[in-house]
Amino acid sequence: MPITSSAKKALRSSKKKRVLNLRRKNNMQSVIKEYKKLVLDKKIDEAKKLIPKLQKAIDKAEKRGVIKKNNASRKKSRLVHIIINAK
């Protein structure tokens, strides 16, 4: 456990940031899961409508440092290619 007051404050801050980061990551993962399910169910039109929401969730996670820049780019690229190859 932290002893100094600055360490205690850092711990409080870290806990808050962890909750926000987990929320962003879970949001991103749920949108990706929903998108992949639509593609597997051959609901291509609905999946295409979900792409902007998908990219927004990934970009927000990247902006806040939950995932790295290249990881975000790779995810977006691969997810769009899934729909192209599903036809």
The dihedral built from the CA positions of residue 31, 35, 38 and 40, taken in this order, carries a sign that is negative
pLDDT at 85 over 90: no
Say what the pLDDT of residue 15 is: 96
For the whole model, what pTM was predicted?
0.85
Say what the pLDDT of residue 86 is: 78
Q: What is the pLDDT of residues 22-77, one digit of tens each?
A: 999 999 999 999 999 999 999 999 999 999 999 999 999 999 999 999 999 999 99
Kindly list the structural domains of the chain, giving each domain's residue range(s) and its CATH number in brackets, ordered by start. Answer: 5-85 (1.20.58.110)
Task: State how far the Cα of 39 lies from the Cα of 11, in Å rounded to an integer.
Answer: 42
Say what the pLDDT of residue 5 is: 95
pLDDT at 87 over 90: no
